[in-house]
Structure 1
Amino acid sequence: MKSDQAAVISELHTLRDFMRWALSEFSRHQVFFGHGHAEAWDEASQLVLNAVDLPWDTNPAVLDGRLTQAEKARVVDFVSQRTLERKPLPYITGEAWFMGLPFNVDERVLIPRSPVAELIAAGFEPWLRPGPVNRILDLCTGSGCIGIACAYAFEEAEVDLADISTDALEVAQANIARHALEDRVRACQGDLFAAVEGETYDLIVSNPPYVDADDLASMPEEYGHEPALALGSGPDGLDITRRILQMAAQHLTPEGLLVVEVGNSEVHLMQSLPELPLVWVELEQGGNGIFVITAEELRAHADLL
């Protein structure tokens, strides 16, 4: 492998050369794309540009510029991490984008990719009651991307980011600082609502662990770099979601709203709680498995939970 890398460094010269080579390596090693770009060329471009400290929207004229030996070595290292170690691109670059916002990420947190972004952009209409939103909880926050995006969408709201993982909250705290939101956003550690005991919110949003045992066992290697604590949730993927449903009403204002993503475990939830009036969101931008339910409905159907 070292001899192959030496040949690459010797024979390739421009950014365009290395992008083409990265594309070939992706194909040769059959890497999985699911943590950033759906297209191999887009991922190859971002990987190479990031390795030489250039932004993704760099002027295309730069692509024929020659690299230094040190830059070539860094590109080769990045491609090696992506293909041989199967490390997702955001973990290599240390950054992911969510709703057009940059976030610090590493292997302590999931890589942001939630379709909840579509609901945030719409202000959670038509499900969220009219009027000001004063307090928001991002439960199982990970990197903090959902809660921080909500802070941008609701400029007057105070936002709590809750997670059981102290490692994840270190990343979330770094993202709070990165977006200069310390005055409105705080990180809270604890097991689900134990992190915010006694607090109530107009809006609770959660992207909890929801992968069922079968899906967890068959996931591509890239997912092995993400924290297991943030992925699996029992045989049907709903262990944590059931707990959220049982406790959420206590932490919602009378007209509050709960929004939860459960992905492919949607089918399991519909089968196990068929009488619970969950509204399943139809997503225009792709994705599935997001439900909404009001505090009033949760309280009215507490016997089902």
Structure 2
Amino acid sequence: MTNSSPDFAQAITELVSIRDFFRWAASEFVAAKLFYGHGTDNPWDEAEQLVLHALHLNPPLADEWLDARLTRAEKERVVANIQRRIEERIPAAYITGQAWFAGMPFVVDERVLVPRSPIAELIEKQFAPWLSAEPQQILDLCTGSGCIGIACAYAFPDAEVQLSDISFDALAVAEENIHQHDLADRVFALQSDLFESLLGQRFDLIVSNPPYVDADDMASLPQEYHAEPELGLASGVDGLDFTRRLLAEAADHLTENGVLVVEVGNSWPALEEAYPGLSFTWVEFERGGHGVFVLNAADLRSARKHGLI
């Protein structure tokens, strides 16, 4: 926190327009030394998200709206959002109850990680050039809010999508999002520890954003990340506990030409060191992000045959 706390009552009394509250909130966020990384990367965008949510408006806002005057009730809602963000140090998405992924809104709360995976860019490109045909069966493993699998359902309108997670709490959020997007006819949520409840099932595409934060990174994460469920972040000393299991079992759940796409973030050097015989294809993103690899079924089966996984 700062040496001088924000005067929230003064803001309600003296500030007038949407522009005023954008500027004030951004300034207070800088002073409070907040950390960004849950959908925004700077104080202005964070301020915009929280101010507009309180006003029941969606960004981006046209310039002619910026000087609109707020009622006292609107000011109080805006300030309440800003105050929570500063004092509780929680991601803005937990305050608004909503996050955007692949251009779509998703319900989120403290039961799931805030969507932010660069895999969104791959989904928008329909995983080109790695898929040889449109997938009919897709698995979103460690689904959390369901955002990756649901976005895949939009990208491939003929596909059936399975959303899997070990957490019943996360799956309850995923179910909300399935119904919000009106996809209950072909997107399904299932509780499973890795492939435990998926025995005998094979998929043309398995996408996973599993826990991959190593012990050192977990210890040094900003406070905002500790508001998220640790189950969705931590994965042992080197961040690879879950990914090791995934690599060992994925081949049995891919079709002949199936593709595996996994995000391991900052743990990618540890993964390459642990599996020197595997030829990971690391995705390069236009909009930023790293640590996402692609492997096909043939590579995984060959690696297992030769004792590499």
TM range (shorter): over 0.9
What is the correspondence of 1:64-83 to structure 2 with a 5 Å cutoff? 64-83=67-86
Tell me the secondary structure at the aligned position of residue 45 of structure 1: helix
* 1:128 lines up with 2:131 in the alignment: yes
Calculate the TM-score normalised by the size of structure 2: 0.95
* 1:90 lines up with 2:71 in the alignment: no
Query: 1:12, 1:195 → 2: CA distance?
Result: 55
Query: 2:42, 2:175 → 1: CA distance?
Result: 31
- Equivalent in the alignment of 1:238: 240
Query: 1:102, 1:195 → 2: CA distance?
Result: 29
Query: 1:75, 1:212 → 2: CA distance?
Result: 37
Deviations 1:96-143 (A, max 9, x none): 1111111001111111110111211221122222x2311000000001
- Equivalent in the alignment of 1:104: 107
Query: 1:216, 1:7 → 2: CA distance?
Result: 38
- Equivalent in the alignment of 1:35: 38
Contact 1:166 / 1:189 at 8 angstroms: preserved in 2?
Answer: yes
- Equivalent in the alignment of 1:257: 259
What is the correspondence of 1:204-243 to structure 2 with a 5 Å cutoff? 204-243=206-245
Which one of the candidate residues 44, 47, 51 is aligned to 2:50? 47
Deviations 1:188-220 (A, max 9, x none): 101011132221100000000000011111111
Tell me the secondary structure at the aligned position of residue 161 of structure 2: strand
Query: 1:67, 1:179 → 2: CA distance?
Result: 32
- Equivalent in the alignment of 1:281: 283
* 1:4 lines up with 2:3 in the alignment: no
Structure 1: gaps (5+ residues) = none
Query: 1:139, 1:253 → 2: CA distance?
Result: 16
Contact 1:162 / 1:196 at 8 angstroms: preserved in 2?
Answer: no
Q: After alignment, is 138-147 or 289-298 more displaced?
A: 289-298
**Which letter does structure 2 place at the counterpart of 1:88?**
P
Deviation at 1:13, TM superposition (A): 2.0
Q: State the number of aligned residues.
A: 304
- Equivalent in the alignment of 2:308: 304
Query: 1:2, 1:278 → 2: CA distance?
Result: 49
> Identity of counterpart residues, as a percentage?
59
Contact 2:8 / 2:83 at 8 angstroms: preserved in 1?
Answer: no
What is the correspondence of 1:127-276 to structure 2 with a 5 Å cutoff? 127-129=130-132, 131-276=133-278
Contact 1:110 / 1:143 at 8 angstroms: preserved in 2?
Answer: yes
- Considering only aligned residues, what root-mean-square deviation do their CA atoms show, in Å? 1.5
* 1:25 lines up with 2:28 in the alignment: yes
- Show structure 1 runs of 4+ deviating over 6 A: none
Structure 2: gaps (5+ residues) = none
Query: 1:195, 1:19 → 2: CA distance?
Result: 47
Deviation at 1:239, TM superposition (A): 0.2
Deviations 1:241-278 (A, max 9, x none): 00000111111111111111100100000001100122
**Which letter does structure 2 place at the counterpart of 1:204?**
I
**Which letter does structure 2 place at the counterpart of 1:81?**
R
**Which letter does structure 2 place at the counterpart of 1:267?**
P
Tell me the secondary structure at the aligned position of residue 292 of structure 1: strand
Deviation at 1:15, TM superposition (A): 1.5
Tell me the secondary structure at the aligned position of residue 7 of structure 2: helix
Deviation at 1:3, TM superposition (A): 9.4
Calculate the TM-score normalised by the size of structure 1: 0.96
Deviation at 1:2, TM superposition (A): 9.9
